[in-house]
Structure formats: structure tokens, C-alpha cells
Amino acid sequence: MDLSIGEVSKRSGLSVHALRFYEKEGLFANPIRRTPGGQRIYREEDLQWLASCARLRSSGMSLAAIRRYVELMRQGPGNEHERLALLHDHEKRVEAQIHELHECLDVIRYKVKAYAEYVARTQAGELRDPTPPDAEADCHRAAPAGPSTG
């Protein structure tokens, strides 16, 4: 089934401008066909690729890396080890991001707990000193020292 750029925009959630940009940058797995009048014609496979491409982008893969991956796909069989290496490198970066986010979440959870306890004690009239828990101390107790703990 052929799709117009407007239909692809609606179904993919990408703007018409973004779709043109992706095409110009060589980010589609297959070349986009055109009508004799020059209008773009998309296929269901293009939508499926856009969904994968959007996941790669939202996970932090650079346009250059996606472009390289597409180039390798278009070359066909014989370069699977290069595709695997590219995806494996990205997988390592995403795993590192997830690890860092887990550390951030630990700090946030610690702070939520500390402030929830403080608020509960304050509301119960147990505290005379209205000073909330020390933010810096919270941070350093919640996670090992590092660049993303503050």
C-alpha cells in the first residue's frame, strides 16, 4: 500500500519536515520512491523502519551512526560483522546510560524518602527546627561520589 508523506507523518508522529530531513540525510533503509510529479511515495516497510530509527535516535544513536548502519544495510550481505559492531557499541552506550540513570534514581529515591519523613515529622509537630534535610549530605549518602551525584 502506497502512503503519502502526510499519511506517514500522521502514523509515525514525525513532522513532514523531519521526514524530508531523514530522506535528505540518507536515513531511510530503502530509497523513497516518487510519483512522476515528484511526490514521495512511502511503503509500510518505511513506517516500520522509521519506528526502529526513532528508537535508535531516542536511545542516543547519532545520525552519523544511523546513516552508517543504513549504508551497510543497503550494501547487502557480507558486512554483518560491521553492523553487529556498530549495534554492539551503541548497546554498550545505552547500558552505561541506564546504569547512570539507575544511580540518579537511587539519589532521587533517597531524597524523596528523606523529605517525606521530614514532612511527616513536621506535620506531626515533632520538629522545632524547620530546616529540611541537607541536600548535599543526602546526595553523598545515597550514592557513591561521582560526577552525576550532585
Q: Kindly tell me if the per-residue pLDDT of 121 is higher than 50.
A: yes
pLDDT at 129: 60
Instruction: Please tell me the distance from the alpha carbon of residue 3 to that of residue 8, in angstroms, as a whole number.
Output: 6
Exposure class string for 118-150: b at 16+ Cβ within 10 A, else e:
beeeeeeeeeeeeeeeeeeebeeebbeeeeeee
Q: Kindly tell me if the per-residue pLDDT of 141 is higher than 60.
A: no
- The predicted-structure confidence for 42-81, as pLDDT tens digits, reads as follows 999 999 999 999 999 999 999 999 999 999 999 999 999 9
Mode of pairing for the β-strands spanning 40-41 and 33-34: antiparallel
Q: Kindly tell me if the per-residue pLDDT of 15 is higher than 70.
A: yes
Q: Kindly tell me if the per-residue pLDDT of 138 is higher than 60.
A: no
Query: What is 1-76's CATH number?
Result: 1.10.1660.10
- The predicted-structure confidence for 80-118, as pLDDT tens digits, reads as follows 999 999 999 999 999 999 999 999 999 999 999 999 988
- Position of cell 523531519? 18
Percent of the chain that is helix, strand, coil (3-state, to 5): 65, 5, 30
Q: What is the pTM of this model?
A: 0.73
φ/ψ bin of 53: left (φ > 0), alpha (ψ from -120 to 50), beta (otherwise): alpha
